[in-house]
């Protein structure tokens, strides 16, 4: 394959091609959110929603930076697996629809320093209530719907910063790869499917059974 040199980039040596395939979208978006937009550092608390590709990368990048991570999921079994990846606190968002209260309880009333917002319609208002004064909400996804309403007094009263991001650029990709290499981070791959089984892969994603990334092999 002949490619423009500006359109390709090396990936960390400890990863195979399946793992590297997970980097350009989900990982890069998560890295930019954690490292640049939220600028999460040691001792801070990051809230991530669900156990999909973006959120698990955000969990891994935040733990590498010495942060505490609270993760939500609809599944207790997935929450247990997230603990295995370093999550400090877990919340089942089905059992706790007002999970912002639980985030406040877990942070001694303070709230999370930053929230990785992937839920959209059903989660944005809770994310704002879960954020600490001066906290950041990095808006990435719309898993539960694209039109959201949220409490404006919480936005200005708590001096929140809401930033929408779309993936990242080449230099951010290279910086992310340095972190992945330095911390020996391995992408969480749920399953790998041959392209001939693309329908099975889509059904697995549609059913919400996946934990991390689904890889298609061409
Ligand atoms: N802005 C960008 O540049 C960018 C880049 C990449 C992705 N995205 C977007 O970001 C979102 C996430 O992408 P992804 O690849 O991580 O998706 P994914 O791997 O399919 O993640 C789906 C998971 O999110 C969780 N989830 C679903 N609805 C939820 C809700 N209402 N509240 C909390 N968690 C919920 C579920 O986790 P549990 O099963 O654990 O409940 C589900 O398994 C998508 O909307 C995607 O389009 C945007």
Quote the pLDDT of residue 6: 86
Question: Hey, where are the domains in the chain?
Answer: 12-217
In angstroms, what is the span from residue 130 Cα to ligand 1's centroid?
Answer: 18
Helix 170-182 and helix 53-64, axial crossing angle in degrees, nearest 10: 60
Quote the pLDDT of residue 118: 98
The finding on whether 55 has its CB within 6 A of some atom of ligand 1 is: yes
Under CATH, which architecture does the 12-217 domain have? Alpha-Beta Complex (3.90)
Given pLDDT bands bounded at 50, 70 and 90, which one contains residue 80? very high
Quote the pLDDT of residue 37: 98
Which distant-in-sequence residues (6+ apart) come within 8 Å of 96 by Cβ? Answer: 102
In angstroms, what is the span from residue 5 Cα to ligand 1's centroid?
Answer: 32
The answer on pLDDT for 211 being more than 90 is yes
Given pLDDT bands bounded at 50, 70 and 90, which one contains residue 174? very high
**Ligand 1: which of 22, 27, 54 to mutate, judged by most atoms within 8 Å of the beta carbon?**
54
Which residue minimizes the CA distance to atom 44 of ligand 1? Answer: 141
Given pLDDT bands bounded at 50, 70 and 90, which one contains residue 197? very high
Quote the pLDDT of residue 1: 85
- Average pLDDT, integer, range 81-105: 98
> What atom of ligand 1 comes closest to residue 143's alpha carbon?
45
- Average pLDDT, integer, range 4-33: 96
In angstroms, what is the span from residue 2 Cα to ligand 1's centroid?
Answer: 33
The rounded mean pLDDT for the chain is 97
Which distant-in-sequence residues (6+ apart) come within 8 Å of 212 by Cβ? Answer: 51, 52, 53, 56, 187, 188, 189, 190
More confident residue, 46 or 7: 46
Given pLDDT bands bounded at 50, 70 and 90, which one contains residue 121? very high
**Percent of all residues in the chain with a pLDDT value above 70, rounded to a whole number:** 100
- Tens digit of pLDDT for each residue in 33-53? 999 999 999 999 999 999 999
In angstroms, what is the span from residue 55 Cα to ligand 1's centroid?
Answer: 7
102-107 CB contacts, 8 Å cutoff, 24+ apart: 103/47, 103/70, 103/130, 104/129, 104/130, 106/70, 107/45, 107/70, 107/132
- Average pLDDT, integer, range 184-188: 98
> Among residues 99, 98, 133, which one has the least CA distance to residue 114?
133
Which distant-in-sequence residues (6+ apart) come within 8 Å of 16 by Cβ? Answer: none
- Average pLDDT, integer, range 2-10: 91
In angstroms, what is the span from residue 123 Cα to ligand 1's centroid?
Answer: 11
Given pLDDT bands bounded at 50, 70 and 90, which one contains residue 7? confident
Is residue 155 within 8 A of residue 162, CB to CB? The reply is yes
Is residue 34 within 8 A of residue 9, CB to CB? The reply is no
| Rounded Cα–Cα distance for residues 174 and 196 (Å) | 32
Instruction: State which H helix or E strand residue 182 sits in.
Output: helix 170-182
Quote the pLDDT of residue 109: 98
The finding on whether 168 has its CB within 6 A of some atom of ligand 1 is: no
Quote the pLDDT of residue 145: 96
């Amino acid at each position: 394959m002949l490619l423009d040199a500006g359109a390709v980039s090396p990936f960390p040596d400890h990863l195979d091609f399946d793992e590297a395939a997970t980097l350009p979208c989900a990982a890069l978006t998560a890295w930019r959110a954690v490292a640049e937009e939220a600028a999460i550092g040691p001792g801070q608390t990051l809230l991530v929603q669900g156990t999909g590709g973006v959120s698990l990368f955000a969990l891994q990048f935040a733990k590498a930076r010495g942060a505490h991570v609270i993760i939500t999921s609809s599944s207790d079994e997935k929450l247990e697996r997230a603990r295995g990846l370093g999550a400090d606190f877990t919340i089942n968002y089905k059992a706790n629809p007002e999970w912002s209260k639980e985030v406040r309880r877990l942070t001694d009333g303070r709230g999370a320093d930053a929230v990785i917002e992937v839920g959209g319609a059903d989660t944005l208002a809770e994310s704002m209530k879960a954020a600490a004064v001066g906290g950041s909400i990095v808006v990435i996804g719309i898993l539960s719907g694209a039109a959201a309403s949220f409490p404006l007094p919480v936005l200005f009263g708590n001096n929140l910063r809401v930033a929408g991001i779309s993936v990242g650029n080449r230099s951010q990709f290279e910086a992310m790869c340095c972190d992945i290499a330095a911390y020996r981070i391995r992408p969480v791959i749920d399953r790998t499917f041959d392209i001939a089984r693309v329908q099975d892969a889509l059904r697995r994603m549609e059913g919400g059974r996946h934990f991390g990334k689904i890889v298609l092999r061409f």
